[in-house]
Structure 1
């Protein structure tokens, strides 16, 4: 089992969360991005299934491109190796076949939850709702399907880092699925009448509500017994630093192209011929393929895949309204990102001021422009590396734009989008091991583990 992480490698706050899930048949884990919600939940499942024998069949509901994350996470940990899973996606025939497989965990994307409810005859004694906030609309089909399934489920876990992306009103639907209305009421009307008052309305039609004085504290108190938050409540001048890897995978054809270039330094593509005359040039070409596009010898651009763009889109969505800073390396990275989503590149003092004022939801930055003394910490706490740089100095400088004194959030999350089995993995390994202090900083993530004693401290 060499190379696998072990249960003892889990952080103390992760072990605390595992025990919380085991102790609470209904549990809401509000975890900041990057704190390991997947391994926490899988460890709890493994313990409940193989140590306590209290669950037999588990359903995980998650975003489509996160399905593989649950399956792949099992492969990284020695203590999870006994768990088996089946991905319930693809065509209707493929989904039915996946449900017929013998497995501990069945993983379905949230878009197929309604189909699963209507067609599946399996009964699940434990359900995990990964990204609980995607069930905040009580009128959605997925909410209604999960609500109908809920009474037959003995254990349920809701995972999210942003439970109130659009305000406290979001919480009702999320917790209605968890505790079937025990804490915030069985009906949305009860919740509204108790904690809110009309804000904008026209005659009898109310367009929005705002919380009554003291409503937030009252709501937090109501849900505190089944909720644990991973937001640190300490007085450190420096925020905690969390480093996370988001893996994407090439198709067989894309892998063939990558290996062909690596082997022969020449790759024939429909858009032109690419040659790599030396190792340095080859490295750049491989980095480009890993990122999804490559320059041809005549300065053209050939798109190879959109895997990283899909992953970036998922990460931005999971931030649920939080501002995001994206680091890119190649010009075609920037161009492709700009075509996929609305972004602004940080190049001028006006851009920097707007970012720090929270006016730019998704910002682009090139590591070479993220020099010493550039303060961006007031604008956000999430950095996503779309393409990595070999330069440890540029890497550290870019991270330091957010991870520095004056950062308003207690945690800075650095996400690395890495194409599995490519030069990306080698670059990340070099960056991680050139400076031994990095590991210590990453391990310094803290969480308020005494929050349940205060009733509301640490919630949300």
Structure 2
């Protein structure tokens, strides 16, 4: 308790006489001073005595000894490395704000990523919380301070897990924590001291416990219970034998997967799909029923009971769903328990309600199941919710919003959402109505689950399995944004690595509950299908109208206004279909086109007969089909005004037709379809169909040819419409014709469609329709290419020459080392390295009878003084330019599955010289006889009708892309 003394600021340096030694202690001043010896003299005397007693030995070099053995420290998890050679490391951590409390608690979990010596702290939602430097390696239990937070390392995670984003989805596998003393004693509160003591005892017991020893089968077999006077009771034989509803060993029996756990005292029984259905199911449909059953029963490795059946149109999604519902309504894998579900709700577009009821009665019969249809005739929902007569209810999306409160009282066990891509927005009223039913088992049926972007995809996934991909802000930050960044042409290597890892992880997660099969599985059940993309060259009248519009002052205004640009896009669409559409009036009798645009266009061009290239090609095609075949045609358009023009055109040519559009009553639609399928061509030659009103759920198998007159921004709309004829029950080979105006807006829409489908049905696309265009993209959209070359074919960089042969697709080994598909131009057009000089051209050995064998090139490397650095710089710049537009090429790589035919190669049959012929057939002709030869058109186009149209004078078609079903 001495008072505080201010420290002296005077520096005390040692005296020079002491030679750097600390100053000697002062002599004590006491009463017996004269009797006490001097301390310095005594110390010197003692040191001299020691030196005399121990003489100094001279230094001797140590003798040779064995070198030390090098021992690797295997237990050390980290090594101290320099920042240049350090690798990235990632950890799961606990964090909290600074506090002075005695008993501190952690505020939350986080993820710590260390790159070099700098660490970044994120919470489990991916939000960055701070950055800071780290000193030395981090071990489990290490503590540090980052961004004003106290952090403790909990565990280390791999780089692959971090790049995949698993810590942010909560999908990391963590060891289950030991039960607390509070949970064991079932009390509301336990002191910290008692809990700490319990943890220490539990840890000690865990360490002392050895491996669990179990008796082998041989030991159990040799063991016999001791018998003393025969008083040991024999084990009771279980008399309960589970009997399945249907024979699991029967022919074509479809047995569902068994659950892993069973309640105590219960037995498992096989769930077998009704043989009445399995005898009609195809292989892919059997697999689909089993897949959906495992999902809705919670047998998959994800948290949820939802599933998305994303098969393409025509694969029998309705039949698979009926088989699933009938199985769940009648059976349970737990023996003697009630069926899994009692009430099922099917929500679909109003146009498909009757189709669902008819399909259920077709496969199950009216007497076996009760189907309640919620329409204007049946308004008393208690018959379904409270009664026992009905097990399935069918209702439209709009009607569901009005009756959701009544359905909540009855209890729905499973919901089937047909055409579920309608639920692609988070605020969709129908989706909110279904969620209000509190039904965990949700099934989405959609032939086009991914239509625009990842936000819509997230909404659908979160609908069937809520919370699986975390909240949308977390998903957008950790998945959507990195994936979109990696698709940009200027993405860095780290962005590419992270985006690819996140995309792969997203695909792996969703593949557990999304089943997608293409129409190719029907190739062995249906006749072949051929799709033709017909590029119609614009007429002179169309070119003049098009140029007048894009040369008007409205064009410059459209580049700066979204609303004006959309209006101008709609005007150009009409010009591509037919310039006469600009004269159409709306419901109020007013012109649908702006007067300032019409004033700039000569009226004579709008009234010119045959001003549309598409109508001219359609005229020739229908004439050939009507006069040379007995087939019928489905003519599809996305716009009612275009359908009016086509209806006038069909009437003028005396072609009989039926029409179905948005104004057709729902009760009459199926009757029109049945009438068309049964009637001969003389009664109904053409079925005029609106793609958006009747593009789903309609089987127009009475026709074997379909013409898609115009295109929609959404590829799903066109794909659904094109699948109307190639379905079960079709007996003829099918031909699909997609019309588009070459070099105009139509071709740009087609390119966008292909980009949205992406490479191998990619689930992601950065653009979502016409409203998202930049100024440069709009300028490109409005450009009219009047050249004879096909812009799409040129953009692909395809080197097929337009001969109609299938274009080669670059294989994975041909791709660049970093596996960047954005460099497609480098894989399709090989470029020589300026440092490599070819000394021998690639030769083919044709001397033998075997197939030609390529001879490898001999390469000679140039020395440094021979290198042309200017050529190197030019090559680098060229690759950079290729990367700028390579993203579009990559997304359009699916067009390489088509064969590309340039109609400029067509020549009159009589004038075609011999060297323009193509050898055809496997057999060689006999000697001295001419070989059977076929021109380029016959080799490229198999359809006789289209070949005749292409041979007509005028060359109205510039290019044809062809894809045949395998």
Q: CA deviation at 1:137?
A: 0.2
Question: Which residue number in structure 1 is paired with residue 355 of structure 2?
Answer: 69
State which of 18, 21, 30 in structure 1 corresponds to 2:310. 30
User: Contact 2:660/2:694 (CA < 8 Å) preserved in 1?
Assistant: no
Question: Which residue number in structure 2 is paired with residue 321 of structure 1?
Answer: 715
Alignment of 1:292-311 (within 5 A): 306=661, 307=669
Question: Which residue number in structure 2 is paired with residue 253 of structure 1?
Answer: none
Give the direction of change, closer, same or farther, for the CA distance of 1:137–1:360 in structure 2 (3 Å limit). closer
User: Contact 1:21/1:44 (CA < 8 Å) preserved in 2?
Assistant: yes
State which of 404, 415, 422 in structure 2 corresponds to 1:117. 404
Give the direction of change, closer, same or farther, for the CA distance of 1:223–1:299 in structure 2 (3 Å limit). closer
User: Contact 2:660/2:690 (CA < 8 Å) preserved in 1?
Assistant: no
Name whichever structure is richer in strand by fraction: 1
Which whole-Å CA distance do the structure 2 matches of 1:166 and 1:303 have between them?
33
Alignment of 1:51-450 (within 5 A): 51-52=331-332, 53-77=339-363, 82-89=368-375, 91=376, 94-97=377-380, 100-101=383-384, 102-120=389-407, 121-149=409-437, 151=438, 153-181=439-467, 183-185=468-470, 187-197=471-481, 212-231=499-518, 240=523, 306=661, 307=669, 312-314=691-693, 316=695, 321-322=715-716, 323-324=718-719, 346=739, 354=747, 358=751, 378=895, 404=964
**Does 2:282 match 1:11?**
yes
Question: RMSD of aligned C-alpha atoms?
Answer: 5.1
Q: CA deviation at 1:40?
A: 0.1
Which whole-Å CA distance do the structure 2 matches of 1:296 and 1:309 have between them?
12
Q: CA deviation at 1:49?
A: 1.0
Q: CA deviation at 1:402?
A: 5.6
Which whole-Å CA distance do the structure 1 matches of 2:445 and 2:362 have between them?
21
The secondary structure found in structure 2 opposite 1:157 is strand
Q: Which consecutive residues of structure 2, in runs of 5 or more, have no partner in the other structure? A: 1-275, 297-304, 333-338, 486-495, 528-625, 635-642, 662-668, 670-686, 698-711, 725-736, 755-803, 807-893, 899-942, 949-959
Aligned length: 307
Which whole-Å CA distance do the structure 1 matches of 2:406 and 2:371 have between them?
19
User: Contact 2:353/2:395 (CA < 8 Å) preserved in 1?
Assistant: yes
Which whole-Å CA distance do the structure 1 matches of 2:945 and 2:367 have between them?
34
1:303-347, Cα deviation, whole Å (9 max, x unpaired): 77643667742564799524447699xxxxxxxxxxxxxxx9738
User: Contact 2:314/2:723 (CA < 8 Å) preserved in 1?
Assistant: no
Which whole-Å CA distance do the structure 2 matches of 1:194 and 1:347 have between them?
39
The secondary structure found in structure 1 opposite 2:410 is coil
Question: Which residue number in structure 2 is paired with residue 43 of structure 1?
Answer: 323
Give the direction of change, closer, same or farther, for the CA distance of 1:117–1:36 in structure 2 (3 Å limit). same
Which whole-Å CA distance do the structure 2 matches of 1:169 and 1:228 have between them?
20
Which whole-Å CA distance do the structure 2 matches of 1:223 and 1:327 have between them?
26
TM-score, L = length of structure 2: 0.27
Which whole-Å CA distance do the structure 2 matches of 1:195 and 1:347 have between them?
36
Q: CA deviation at 1:107?
A: 0.9
Name whichever structure is richer in helix by fraction: 1
User: Contact 1:42/1:80 (CA < 8 Å) preserved in 2?
Assistant: no
1:250-284, Cα deviation, whole Å (9 max, x unpaired): xxxxxxxxxxxxxxxxxxxxxxxxxxxxxx9xxx9
Q: CA deviation at 1:57?
A: 0.7
Q: CA deviation at 1:358?
A: 3.8
Q: Which consecutive residues of structure 1, in runs of 5 or more, have no partner in the other structure? A: 201-209, 245-279, 329-343, 362-372, 382-392, 405-411, 413-440, 442-460
The secondary structure found in structure 2 opposite 1:24 is helix
User: Contact 2:308/2:443 (CA < 8 Å) preserved in 1?
Assistant: yes
Q: CA deviation at 1:50?
A: 2.0
User: Contact 2:741/2:747 (CA < 8 Å) preserved in 1?
Assistant: no
User: Contact 1:6/1:79 (CA < 8 Å) preserved in 2?
Assistant: no
Question: Which residue number in structure 2 is paired with residue 337 of structure 1?
Answer: none
1:232-256, Cα deviation, whole Å (9 max, x unpaired): 8xxx9x9947769xxxxxxxxxxxx
User: Contact 1:55/1:125 (CA < 8 Å) preserved in 2?
Assistant: yes
Which whole-Å CA distance do the structure 2 matches of 1:63 and 1:380 have between them?
34
The secondary structure found in structure 2 opposite 1:56 is coil
1:154-201, Cα deviation, whole Å (9 max, x unpaired): 5221222222211222122212221221x212x32222122133979x
Which whole-Å CA distance do the structure 2 matches of 1:157 and 1:69 have between them?
18
Q: CA deviation at 1:214?
A: 2.8
Give the direction of change, closer, same or farther, for the CA distance of 1:313–1:229 in structure 2 (3 Å limit). same
Give the direction of change, closer, same or farther, for the CA distance of 1:78–1:380 in structure 2 (3 Å limit). farther
1:83-130, Cα deviation, whole Å (9 max, x unpaired): 3312213x4xx3523662532211111122221213433211111111
Q: CA deviation at 1:401?
A: 8.0
